[in-house]
Structure 1
């Protein structure tokens, strides 16, 4: 069994064909996938996937009370925790025509820099995030702001640097996790805000959240 594949899965990585090409190809083999699933079952975990051809990740084998509490609390603070990444991705969407924020989309630093420099509104949006982008100062140029912003998104797992020469990045499969979680919260926010009294409803809600957000409590 591939040690790196297991290490990445247990570390909470989302194994997609963009960020983890070799590992994703391994999991595309039914025999390898079955072997991984068997090994994960031995530690009470399972292999899950975002959609039919999306990223693989590790999730709990069964949804127990501790998982329910953890997922509910994580969902309550999801916007606060992931809000900066959402704002950064939305800025890219505004600055780059045709950017759908989908796995495989390309982002070149020079492209969005040009759009930012030509729009005072976009520049204002960028600079309003100076407290959310690690490693930047209000004194930095737009290019440095954007460079650090893309590096932040890379550190969060939403982008990979595909071409260092021209500073081109690519959106990874983890983005589907973000979309799914935000959609889930939008649909179930009243229920998440206050724990349901019906135990069956609680279990069903948390199961859906775990499947969509990849909460594994590894």
Structure 2
């Protein structure tokens, strides 16, 4: 069995055809999936997938109170956990025509730099994130600022560097998880901030957000 594949799954990585092409192809084989599922079961984990062709990831065998509480807290603190990546991806969407924020989409630094330089509004949006983008400073020019933004998204697992020569990145399958979380929040925002006495109901909804939500094959 590929030990690197298991290591990536246990590290919380989303194994998709873009970021982990070889490992993803391995998991498409029923015999490999069965072997991985058996191994994960030994540590109370299971193999889950985001949709029929989406990324694979390791999930708890059963959702216990600590697991649900962790997801619930992440949703309550959306701005800190998901907000920075959402802001960065939204800026790319505004700067790059036709960008759908879907797995496989390409993002070239030069393209979005050109759009930012031509729009004072987009440049203002970019500069407003100097406290959000790790390593960015208001002293940096737009290109340096954008480079750090794309590297932040890469570090978060939403992009991979597909062509270092022309600084082109590609959106990974992990983006589907972010879409599922955003959809869940939009539908259940009042419940996420529920009172402590309603925690049982919240945990049921959190389970759907984390593993089902119509997007995960569990």
Same fold (TM > 0.5): yes
Instruction: State how many pairs are aligned.
Output: 213
CA distance in 2, matches of 1:80, 1:162: 28
State the secondary structure of the residue aligned to 1:161. strand
The TM-score with structure 1 as length reference comes to: 0.93
Is 1:170 matched with 2:153?
Answer: no
1:131 alignment counterpart: 131
8 Å CA contact 1:59, 1:210 repeated in 2? no
CA distance in 2, matches of 1:148, 1:196: 39
The TM-score with structure 2 as length reference comes to: 0.93
1:88 alignment counterpart: 88
Q: Offset at 1:212?
A: 5.0
The 5 A counterparts of 1:191-202 are 191-195=191-195, 197=197, 201-202=201-202
8 Å CA contact 1:63, 1:206 repeated in 2? no
CA distance in 1, matches of 2:134, 2:35: 40
Structure 2 unmatched runs, 5+: 214-218
Is 1:15 matched with 2:15?
Answer: yes
8 Å CA contact 1:195, 1:202 repeated in 2? no
Which range moves more in the overlay, 202-211 or 11-20? 202-211
1:70-101 per-residue CA deviation (whole Å, 9 max, x = no partner) reads: 22112111232221111110000000000000
Which aligned runs of 4 or more in structure 1 are off by greater than 2 angstroms? 195-204
Q: Offset at 1:33?
A: 0.4
1:131-173 per-residue CA deviation (whole Å, 9 max, x = no partner) reads: 1111121111101001111111111110000000000000000
The alignment yields a C-alpha RMSD, in angstroms, of 1.6
8 Å CA contact 2:194, 2:202 repeated in 1? no
CA distance in 2, matches of 1:109, 1:30: 39
